Structure 1
Amino acid sequence: MRGQLPPLGRMYEAGGRRLMLHRSGTGGPPVVLLPGAGLVGLDFLNVQAGAAGFTTSVLYDRAGTGWSDAVELPRRPAEVAEELRALLGAAGVPGPYLLVGHSLGAFYARRFAQLFPAEVAGLVLLDPGHEDMLAHVPGELASLAEEMKPGTEPLPDLTEEQESAARGQWAQLYAGWPGEVSGPLIEHNLASWRTAVEEVRNFETEVYEELRRGGALPQVPVSVISAAGSNPYWARFMTEEAQRRVRAGIRGLHASLTTPGGEHRELPDASHQYLHIEHPEEVLDTIRTLHTKL
């Protein structure tokens, strides 16, 4: 959908690129939503609209995703963080910010906090990954990580049957979205589904090390939500018992990311990719609760 006007929000010039941003609500600190890999700002429209009820609320597409300008993927976290800072400035959204990062977006939110600590009031991390994740799961299971990596061969096009099934699944997911948003969002997903794989290809070569070397986070409250529902992808490689043990390790890691003033919440039946759509009230309550303390 790049090159077309977004169905919601507007385009801003930032860092030499045109980037999509949508904002509503008033007050501060502003809530800024950072999507996970393969997702875009409008995937979080339900949360953004809810947060706009108590503060300024922002969603956006980082370059290379959604309606923003194309760039080569994957990208370094510092590049994404600096781009977001420039975009917020161009859009006139003043800090400090409550950054809400999902999955890959949680890496980018933490990197923003490392680089610009005075501009971050707090963090909410939605089922975040972590550069030391393998240290928190049983050793014999960590070896599966290599087997679970995406391959380097080109991904095949969707068959007609797969496209039809995906279209139906997304239509259900976005049933609460306005029609003028859900339609273009579904078409975007069908055209750009490979982005999810492309964005994470540099985890081990750049992302993890950059976060490790980036320094401590500022002393701000951090809340974490863990998605503990079934994972069909894991099921291809692990037994139910192995999955249980991995979840236990991840639960401990997420708890360790939580800081005073924040909370760790586990959603037993939530999926990783769409926990914010399956459990919007819990996500909004976590954001609202932390926001009241800032």
Structure 2
Amino acid sequence: MLPLGRLYEVGGRRLMLHRSGDGGPAVVFLPGAGLVGLDFLNLQERVAGFTTSVLYDRAGTGWSDPADLPRSAGAVAGELRELLRVAAVPGPYVLAGHSLGAFYARRYAQLFPAEVAGLLLLDPGHEDILAYMPPEAAELNEQMKQDPEQMPDLTGEQIELARAQYAQLYEEWPDPVREALAEHHLVSWRSSLYETANFETEIYDELRHGGGLPDVPLLVLTAGGDNPYWAQFASEEFMRQGLDGVRRMQAAIAASVPRGEQRVIEGASHQYMHLEQPDQVLRAVRDLVAGQVPKPCRA
């Protein structure tokens, strides 16, 4: 049962989209791997107070129809464009992409630059990430890869622990949405591994050779806290060097366009920045919608 939003027919599949508010430019949230549109409901509802606010599930995730994963960034961007057309959400858009969703937001901007009013990238990755990492990062990256088909199912104890954690994470969500979202994550936790399996084989090259970004305001929000996933595999020294590399990498993303800016959100984690520091993310959205990102300096 769909807890919120409605389903739209796009390319032979039904895709979930939920929209609130009115005015423009519309803000569209693109979730990271393992997350779905409703994970961003806290921000979506607040953004709806000052402009059209949209969250959705791409095919193969959430409450949208299944699709073979992984998918190319171009396919996801084209699907989103058609979904927004079918749902009659007028452009141009401020695309708010988190992690994997930031790759998809950048690819959308490469392919359809006239339809983008601004970009908000929440702790994004980058196709040249290893150039910013310590020398041993490539080997560690291989060690961290996991085959979702070989991973055991969650135990009853793990399920109950995760359910309690989700209840805390989404305590401000309406009861039916909170419960449905938690149960969804408990059965679909492998999806993040499926979605990111083509980083090195496809997505990185798509972005690398896809052309520059349009001259629109761009904000990069960098998670200033530790990365708990890295901590399972890496030493404290690697963590320090790696997080410093991520900051430099994301600063370079911001510097790649005339109106780019990086903001470091201290204490925020990669996965849950939007839950831990919602006011900071909301401020960035407001600035993009209002056009308050610094304009380029011209000689």
For residue 162 of structure 1, what is the aligned residue in structure 2? 158
CA distance in 1, matches of 2:232, 2:176: 37
Pick from 58, 61, 65: which aligns with 1:62? 58
CA distance in 2, matches of 1:257, 1:185: 32
1:40-87 per-position Cα deviation (integer Å, ceiling 9, x unaligned):
000000111111111100000000000000011111100000000000
CA distance in 1, matches of 2:74, 2:137: 31
**Percentage identity across aligned positions?**
62
- Report if aligned partners of 1:63, 1:69 keep a CA contact under 8 Å in 2: yes
CA distance in 2, matches of 1:195, 1:93: 28
Pick from 177, 182, 186: which aligns with 1:186? 182
- The alpha-carbon deviation at position 153 of structure 1 amounts to 4.5
CA distance in 1, matches of 2:56, 2:238: 36
For residue 105 of structure 1, what is the aligned residue in structure 2? 101
Structure 1 unmatched ranges of 5 or more:
none
User: Within the alignment, does 1:76 sit opposite 2:76 as a pair?
Assistant: no
CA distance in 2, matches of 1:54, 1:156: 45
Pick from 271, 279, 283: which aligns with 1:273? 271
User: Within the alignment, does 1:287 sit opposite 2:285 as a pair?
Assistant: yes
TM-score (norm: length of structure 1) = 0.96
CA distance in 1, matches of 2:60, 2:40: 17
1:113-147 per-position Cα deviation (integer Å, ceiling 9, x unaligned):
01101001110000001100000112233432221
TM-score (norm: length of structure 2) = 0.94
The count of corresponding residues between Structure 1 and Structure 2 is 290
Deviation >6 Å, runs of 4+: none
For residue 13 of structure 1, what is the aligned residue in structure 2? 9
Pick from 220, 224, 235: which aligns with 1:224? 220
CA distance in 1, matches of 2:5, 2:137: 43
Q: CA RMSD in A?
A: 1.2
User: Within the alignment, does 1:32 sit opposite 2:28 as a pair?
Assistant: yes
For residue 94 of structure 1, what is the aligned residue in structure 2? 90
Instruction: Give the AA of the match of 1:270.
Output: A
Describe the SS at the equivalent of 1:224.
strand
CA distance in 2, matches of 1:141, 1:130: 14
Structure 2 unmatched ranges of 5 or more:
293-299
CA distance in 1, matches of 2:183, 2:139: 37
CA distance in 2, matches of 1:84, 1:279: 27
- The alpha-carbon deviation at position 235 of structure 1 amounts to 1.3
- The alpha-carbon deviation at position 217 of structure 1 amounts to 0.9
User: Within the alignment, does 1:177 sit opposite 2:176 as a pair?
Assistant: no
- Report if aligned partners of 1:25, 1:55 keep a CA contact under 8 Å in 2: yes
For residue 140 of structure 1, what is the aligned residue in structure 2? 136
